[in-house]
Amino acid sequence: MTPPASRPENEPLLLSSDRDGVRTLTLNRPDRKNALNPPLWVALRDALRAVTDDDGVRALVLTGAGGAFCSGADISVPEDVHPDRKLRRLTDVALALYELPIPTVAKVTGVAVGAGWNLALGCDLVVATPESRFCQIFAKRGLSIDLGGSWLLPKLVGLQQAKRLVLLADTIDAGEAHELGLVTWVKAAAEIDGFVDELAARLAAGPPVAMAHSKALLKAGADCTLPEALANEARAQPGNFATADSAEAYAAFAQKRDPSFTGKWAVPPRT
């Protein structure tokens, strides 16, 4: 078996690239299957927070270098800090990803283990290859689940399956993950890059304000009653009517063309 490629000494732990409104963040520790060490946790937190403040970014792809997504937190090197501080790094990353208003895609090749799998599950959509493998490995390390997995898994697969995945810490393949609803699409390794590029481009071309509202409504809807959800929807929709995108959508439909969405506020200023 060919060993994972090592990272050049001066190369960043986290790579960032932009293309047509899509930002791709790549975990870059291929020699450790992109295990998250303290500097990488901080770099990822800062990069996710920066996305929120950049109006030019309309979709995010999160992936890993060297044929793996992420093997979880790097526990190979002891760290002389209080556990509360260690866990705060994880909490900051999980919340920064959760709070992003733009659509997010995890592109998973190779392994997604422990916190690495929950990092992928924190994205809105997950694309994997048939070779991808997933494991909630915490029990095998004498640890309990983290990075939001205790909240994400029951919502995605139900409580019983979540218990099975966490308490037994079994490794499952991409096919089973897809059947459970933990992977959105499975694509051949030769096809995944092109598929994710096209998917991210479609998401970036959508109406940014309306999509941010929908994403927030779906998250809130999972924990509220139907009357509450309907009230939330009623509050959100006027904000969409007040953007240029609403008029653009109707014009594009009438003119039989693709719409060009900007998210710009279209209400005249008060005089």
pLDDT tens digits, one per residue of 23-74: 999 999 999 999 999 999 999 999 999 999 999 999 999 999 999 999 999 9
Q: Strand 111-113 to strand 104-108: parallel, antiparallel, or no bridges (unpaired)?
A: unpaired
CB atoms within 10 A of CB 216: 14
In whole angstroms, what is the distance from residue 107 CA to residue 120 CA? 8
Which pLDDT value is given to residue 34? 98
Here the tokens at position 155 are: 């919502």
3-state DSSP call for residue 237?
A: helix
Answer whether residue 9 shows pLDDT above 70: no
E runs forming strands in 168-211: 171-173, 185-186
Smallest Cα–Cα separation from 73: which of 105, 114, 112? 114
pLDDT at 1: 42
The pLDDT mean for the chain works out to 94
Distances (CA, A) of 52 to 9, 23, 99, 212, 244: 30, 11, 8, 12, 21
**Of 118 and 81, which is predicted with more confidence?**
118
Higher pLDDT, 253 or 7: 253
pLDDT tens profile 85-132: 888 999 999 999 999 999 999 999 999 999 999 999 999 999 999 999
Strands (E), 28-131: 59-64, 104-108, 111-113, 125-128
The letter for the amino acid at 148 is G
* Band of residue 12 on the pLDDT scale cut at 50, 70, 90: very high
Q: What local confidence, expressed as pLDDT, does residue 4 receive?
A: 59
Q: Is 8 buried (19+), middle (13-18) or exposed (0-12) by CB count in 10 A? A: exposed
* Domains within the chain, CATH numbers bracketed: 14-204 (3.90.226.10), 208-254 (1.10.12)
Question: What is the residue whose two structure tokens read 């590029």?
Answer: 197
Q: What is the mean pLDDT of residues 163-182?
A: 98
Q: Provide the 8-state DSSP code for 33.
A: T
* pLDDT single digits (tens) 232-266: 999 999 999 999 999 999 999 999 999 999 999 98
Vertex 20: Cα angle to 131 and 30 (nearest 5) = 35
Mean pLDDT of 8-35: 94
CB 233 within 8 A of CB 216: no
Report whether pLDDT(2) > 60: no
Those residues with Cβ within 8 angstroms of residue 165's Cβ, 6 or more apart along the chain or in another chain: 136, 153, 157, 172
